[in-house]
Amino acid sequence: MRRLRLVGLGLLLALAALPWGMRAQQTPSLTESQRRLQEIRRERTQLRDELTRIRSRVGDVSAEIRNIQRQQQVSSSLLREINLQLAETSRKIDETTLEMANTQSELVEKRRLLHQRLRGIYKRGPLHSAQVLLSSQSFSDLLNRYKYLHIVARRDRGLVQEVGALARELELRERELRRSLSDIQYLQGQRAQENVTLAELRNARGQTLTGLRSTERQTNARLEALARDERRMTGVIADLERRRREAERRAAAAAAAPVAPGATRPAAPRPAASTMTTADVGNLDWPVGGRLVYNFGRATQPNGTTIRYNGVGIGAAAGAPVRAVEAGTVEMAAPFEGYGPTVVVSHGGGYYSLYLYLKDVHVRPGTQVARGQTIGTVGGESSPEGPHLEFQIREPGGGAVDPVRWLRGRR
């Protein structure tokens, strides 16, 4: 009996010494889901980096929205994979719990049988195999006793081994259950974090869309204001052209009128000679030094809308002097709705230079200005482009042309 007890104690100590690092083999579906999960997370990291690059570019709202929508899709895929792993892990927990219960019941039964056997041995007292064999009455009795002792020893040894195996299996099941519970707690945390991320993405998309709609409204309002102001400015130039042509017509009519015999033809007013000709193309000085903030013609905004500029915007410090590009007569020097203080200089022959978004005006209508004379200062601080001058050139007929081709080339 002592030998059996020592054997049982040795088995229990061996079970206690088993390593805790053993890990059950994962099911193929769970392994595949974890692989997809890693790929989705890599894709989301790439999308976040891309969003950072997009936001560094001014006004690329549509690309930002597409990126956020893609991140939402990736986050939803991530949630699906996490939920799949949660379901798989929960199934494994249920299976392990059931197997643990069965193993526990079987272990209890085997231990009951082992204890019963030990109690039986204890009641019969010490019994040595040699005494049993030597007390046999015949050779056949000796063989029967030897067979009986062999069967009893083998059964006892098998019972002890079964108890040890069940104890080890129960320990493995317990470790697997603990690991599965730890995995499910981790996955639940991941799912909660992913739900927060998804909510943040939805909120970011809503804010971006709200900002986009606000920008769109502002842009549309600015487009309407620019179109309205341009129509009014075109009307002013058309009126100036009409008066110029009327003056030329009257001069031509006076020159062609018949004169009575002996009378002297009165001197007809001659229109002023044009100070700007096609020979000046590429030779005029810039009205102010600075960088171009927008070019002549149509410009597509980041939100997809289109603005037409009839001049160029020259960014410069507020208050910087603005000079006439050529000599001429000041036709307008006053605030103009939408453009602020404005100066229009007629150069004769239907050529006009326009200076918009001024801060101060230093000339008056009807006065003559020389080439390079200061006519005002740079303004436009409240405009979306900041301090700048818009410079236009109108050719005969009132049409706006690209003023850069009239100006000297520069680096």
| DSSP letter for each residue of 221-259 | HHHHHHHHHHHHHHHHHHHHHHHHHHHHHHHHHHHHS--
Q: Is the pLDDT of residue 243 over 80?
A: yes
- In angstroms, what CA-CA distances link 384 with 3, 27, 189, 293, 341? 96, 61, 46, 11, 17
Give the separation between CA 377 and CA 287, rounded to whole angstroms: 10
| Most confidently modeled range among 116-120, 239-243, 360-364 | 360-364
Question: In this predicted structure, what is the pLDDT of residue 407?
Answer: 93
Q: Is the pLDDT of residue 369 over 90?
A: yes
- Among 266, 312, 261, 257, which Cα is nearest to 290's? 312
pLDDT-based confidence at 23, cuts 50/70/90?
very low
**Domain 2-15+26-219 adopts which CATH fold?**
Helix Hairpins (1.10.287)
Is 282-299+307-406 the same fold as 2-15+26-219? no
pLDDT tens by residue, 189-204: 777 777 777 778 777 7
Paired residues of 328 in beta bridges? 369
End-to-end, the C-alpha distance of the chain in Å comes to 106
Spell out the domain ranges in the chain. Answer: 2-15+26-219, 282-299+307-406
Paired residues of 173 in beta bridges? none
Residue 229 CB neighbours (<10 A)? 15
Query: Rounded mean pLDDT of the chain?
Result: 76
Give the separation between CA 212 and CA 299, rounded to whole angstroms: 18
pLDDT tens by residue, 113-127: 777 767 766 666 555
Give the separation between CA 50 and CA 31, rounded to whole angstroms: 29
- Among 93, 105, 87, which Cα is nearest to 176's? 93
pLDDT-based confidence at 263, cuts 50/70/90?
low
- As a whole-number percent, the residues of the chain with pLDDT over 70 amount to 72
pLDDT-based confidence at 376, cuts 50/70/90?
very high
Q: In this structure, what token pair is assigned to residue 335?
A: 């605030």
Paired residues of 65 in beta bridges? none
pLDDT tens by residue, 292-311: 999 998 877 655 667 788 99
Question: In this predicted structure, what is the pLDDT of residue 19?
Answer: 36
388 vs 138 pLDDT, higher one: 388
Q: Is the pLDDT of residue 24 over 50?
A: no
127 vs 280 pLDDT, higher one: 280
200 vs 289 pLDDT, higher one: 289
What burial class does residue 333 get, using C-beta atoms within 10 Å of its C-beta: 0-12 exposed, 13-18 middle, 19+ buried?
Answer: buried
Given a contact cutoff of 8 angstroms between Cβ atoms, the answer to whether 40 and 81 are in contact is: yes
Question: In this predicted structure, what is the pLDDT of residue 143?
Answer: 77
pLDDT-based confidence at 16, cuts 50/70/90?
very low
Q: Is the pLDDT of residue 317 over 50?
A: yes
Q: Is the pLDDT of residue 149 over 70?
A: no
pLDDT-based confidence at 250, cuts 50/70/90?
confident
| Most confidently modeled range among 168-182, 214-228, 233-247 | 233-247
Q: Is the pLDDT of residue 318 over 90?
A: yes
| DSSP letter for each residue of 99-149 | HHHHHHHHHHHHHHHHHHHHHHHHHH----HHHHHHT-SSHHHHHHHHHHH
64 vs 285 pLDDT, higher one: 285
CATH architecture of 282-299+307-406: Distorted Sandwich (2.70)
pLDDT-based confidence at 20, cuts 50/70/90?
very low
Given a contact cutoff of 8 angstroms between Cβ atoms, the answer to whether 386 and 380 are in contact is: yes
- In angstroms, what CA-CA distances link 184 with 27, 36, 83, 102, 380? 15, 18, 10, 23, 62
